[in-house]
Structure formats: structure tokens, C-alpha cells
Chains A and B, each alone.
Chain A
Amino acid sequence: EVQLVQSGGGLVKPGESLRLSCAVSGFTSSNAWMIWVRQAPGKGLEWVGRIKSKSDGGTTDFAAPVKGRFTISRDDAKNTLYLQMNSLKTEDTAVYYCTTDLNWIWGQGTMVTVSS
């Protein structure tokens, strides 16, 4: 069974950092482009960023609101995706989901709250 299991959310203060993880099982994620999407409380879905497979160059792209503050990396040996979030702002408060455009199965989501 394909599963994406997320971890790493929590409450942080503005300006602090947090790293989210997304562990993939049931398929080999190394061939997949992996994606982060977020959803602010009571709002819609917002694409955060994506990392291509290593065979496609492993490059990343980000949405304008997070560009320069967030990075995405992958450890294909561990079948795990990461989202490093730096200089967090209150407007980054959201549930963060990982998914893949190989099959668009989603993780369970992890809440990130940025508040003083």
C-alpha cells in the first residue's frame, strides 16, 4: 500500500525554523517529483514547492511567498522528503501536505503554527 507519513510540525515563533519530513512507503519515490502543498486554517490549497527526481536533475521550484526561505531536499536511500522552513512568518501557519505527481497520494498533513 502506498503511504506518505509526515512528521515534524509544531508551534514556533516568528523568525524561527522548522523541518518537516515525509516518509514514503509502497513505491520507490526516487523516480517521482515530490511536492509540498499547504492549507491555511479555513482556506484553500496552496502549492508550496516541488523537487524533481534526481534523474530529472533534482532541481527545486517554490511559490513566491516562500522562495528564499524554504528549501526542499530528498534522501532517496531513505525514501524520505524534507521541507526546511526558515525565517517563518505568521502567514506560514497552515497544515502542510506532501504528495507526488506520480500518483497524487497525499500524506496525512502536519500542522505548523507560527505565533509569538
Chain B
Amino acid sequence: DVVMTQSPLSLPVTLGQPASISCRSSQSLVHSDGNTYLNWFHQRPGQSPRRLIYKVSHRESGVPDRLSGSGSGTDFTLKISRVEAEDVGVYYCMQHTHWPPYTFGQGTKLEIK
């Protein structure tokens, strides 16, 4: 199984400041079709997860451009250029290049300082 490792697991950030979350996979996530199936999800307390980013860097409709995804191979990053109050919650990376199973990172909890 592909292991997804996120860091940090806890991320206190001051409003208006940038934030960055790393996600590393135990093997390359490049699929034989040339795509890299790496998603980022955000889960607010008591809510269902919401996908923010798909295929490494493509933002879902409605996701602000303050959020961006990047990376390749085994190293991926989610960046928030200026953290706002609505960004609190837990962020998960997830791969579905190599399945089964689809695998998630442990989650990174973002909170406001």
C-alpha cells in the first residue's frame, strides 16, 4: 500500500499569514496514463470533507486562489497565501493512483493563533 505522510500534523497560523502543508508518498504517484492522482481535502469540525484540489494543482470550483497545490512524483504541497478564519480545520492529502486501497495522509490540523 502507498503510505501518505503529512507534515506538520498541527499548524497554528496567524490570520493573514501564509501556511504550507507537506504530503509525501512512499512511491511515485504518476499513473501510467501520465496523470498524478493526488487530492487535497478540507474538513471543518462536524462537517464532511470537501475536495479542494485534484490532480496535484487543479482547484475545485469555488475554492479561492489563495489556496494552491503543487508538487510531483512523491512530494506535494498545499499552500495558503493568506490564512483566513474559514481555513481552520483538518487538511488531508489522498492518493488514488495506486489502488486498492486509496490512501489518506494522517491529516494536518490548522488553527488560528
Q: From A45, A61, A64, A107, give the contact of B94 (CB < 8 A).
A: A45
User: Does B39 count as interface, using CB distance less than 8 angstroms?
Assistant: yes
- Which residues of B lie under 8 Å from residue A70 when comparing CB positions? none
The answer to whether A44 touches B48, judged by C-beta atoms less than 8 angstroms apart, is no
- Nearest B residue to A61 via CB reads B100
User: Does A108 count as interface, using CB distance less than 8 angstroms?
Assistant: yes
Residues 69-113 of B contacting A (Cβ, < 8 Å): 90, 92, 94, 96, 99-107
Grouping DSSP codes into helix (H, G, I), strand (E, B) and loop, the A interface class, with mixed when no group exceeds half, is strand
User: Does B8 count as interface, using CB distance less than 8 angstroms?
Assistant: no
The answer to whether B50 touches A106, judged by C-beta atoms less than 8 angstroms apart, is yes
Q: A45-B41, A45-B92, A45-B94 are in contact. Are A108 and B104 (CB under 8 A)?
A: no
User: Does B51 count as interface, using CB distance less than 8 angstroms?
Assistant: yes
- Complex: A116 Cα to B10 Cα, angstroms: 34
The answer to whether B94 touches A63, judged by C-beta atoms less than 8 angstroms apart, is no
**Number of A residues with CB within 8 Å of any CB on chain B:** 19
- Nearest B residue to A103 via CB reads B51
- Which residues of A lie under 8 Å from residue B107 when comparing CB positions? 44-45
Bits for B43-57, please: 1 = Cβ < 8 Å to A, else 0.
100001111001000
- Nearest A residue to B37 via CB reads A101
The answer to whether B102 touches A106, judged by C-beta atoms less than 8 angstroms apart, is no
- Complex: A109 Cα to B48 Cα, angstroms: 7
- Complex: A108 Cα to B49 Cα, angstroms: 9
- Nearest B residue to A104 via CB reads B51
Name the distance in Å between A78's Cβ and chain B's nearest Cβ: 22
The answer to whether A62 touches B104, judged by C-beta atoms less than 8 angstroms apart, is no
- Complex: A107 Cα to B47 Cα, angstroms: 10
The answer to whether B104 touches A45, judged by C-beta atoms less than 8 angstroms apart, is yes
For the complex of A and B, 3 pairs with smallest distance between CB atoms? A61-B100, A106-B48, A104-B51
A sample of 9 cross-chain residue pairs with beta-carbon separation below 8 angstroms, ordered by A number, consists of A44-B106, A45-B49, A45-B92, A45-B107, A47-B100, A47-B103, A50-B99, A50-B100, A104-B39
